[in-house]
Amino acid sequence: TTRTGEKITVQLQPNWMVRATIQVKLEDIKTGDFVGASAIKGADGELVAEAIHYLGQDQATRDRAQGDIPWDLTPQSLMVNADVGTIVKAPNGALSVKMVHKNATYDLAISPTPPVVRYEPGDKALLVKGAWLFFTAQKQPNGTYTATTITAETKGVKPPL
């Protein structure tokens, strides 16, 4: 069932894999980290984070995933994948972060409350009834969906995607 309540069937590709969702702390965000931010634009144009995703240090991942795309976490949200630049910490624990990728720079506000996660290789044993799952799926021309990755809830930590 999709976020909007639509029931769909997803065909897994032969090389499909499972990713485990691991919770990390907001204060673990450091300059130079490559992260994804699910965000919405605030009234002042600054992005406000809904979730932060550590995407790793692999250069091939950076090259492939840099940028911003519309996202469906909430209405009008987008996903920004970029390197963390300067970080300013507020007294309440919130962060103001400059995110930089090859084509743009973004100002991102992160309150102390959004989920912050990283992903690591998981096991098919995570795919149990009732678990929160996120499929990286593509809609095919015939209306079906195919996927190569399933990100799974792990020890109660849901993928905030």
3-state SS of 28-89?
A: HCCCCCEEEEEEEECCCCCEEEEEEEECCCCHHHHHHHCEEEECCCCCCCEEEEEEEEEEEE
Q: What is the pLDDT of residue 21?
A: 95
Nearest 5°: CA angle at 115, between 43 and 71? 55
Q: Is the confidence at residue 131, as pLDDT, over 90?
A: yes
Q: What is the pLDDT of residue 7?
A: 84
Q: How confident is the model at residue 6 (pLDDT cuts 50, 70, 90)?
A: confident
Strands 67-70 and 78-89, by their bridges, are: antiparallel
In this predicted model, which residue has the larger pLDDT, 20 or 112? 20
Backbone angles phi, psi at 44, to 5 degrees: -90, 5
Q: How far apart are CA 37 and CA 88, in angstroms?
A: 17
What confidence tens digit (pLDDT) does each residue in 36-73 have?
Answer: 999 998 888 889 999 999 987 777 778 888 888 888 88
Q: Is the confidence at residue 136, as pLDDT, over 90?
A: no
Q: How confident is the model at residue 118 (pLDDT cuts 50, 70, 90)?
A: very high
In terms of Cα–Cα distance, which of 144, 136, 127 is closest to 161? 136
Q: Name the token pair of 60.
A: 């091939």
Q: What is the pLDDT of residue 63?
A: 82
Q: Point out which residues pair with 145 in neighbouring strands.
A: 10, 139
**For the whole model, what pTM was predicted?**
0.82
Q: Is the confidence at residue 150, as pLDDT, over 90?
A: yes
Q: What is the pLDDT of residue 115?
A: 92
Q: How far apart are CA 83 and CA 76, in angstroms?
A: 22
What confidence tens digit (pLDDT) does each residue in 68-117 have?
Answer: 888 888 888 999 999 999 999 988 888 899 999 888 899 999 988 889 99
Q: How confident is the model at residue 23 (pLDDT cuts 50, 70, 90)?
A: very high
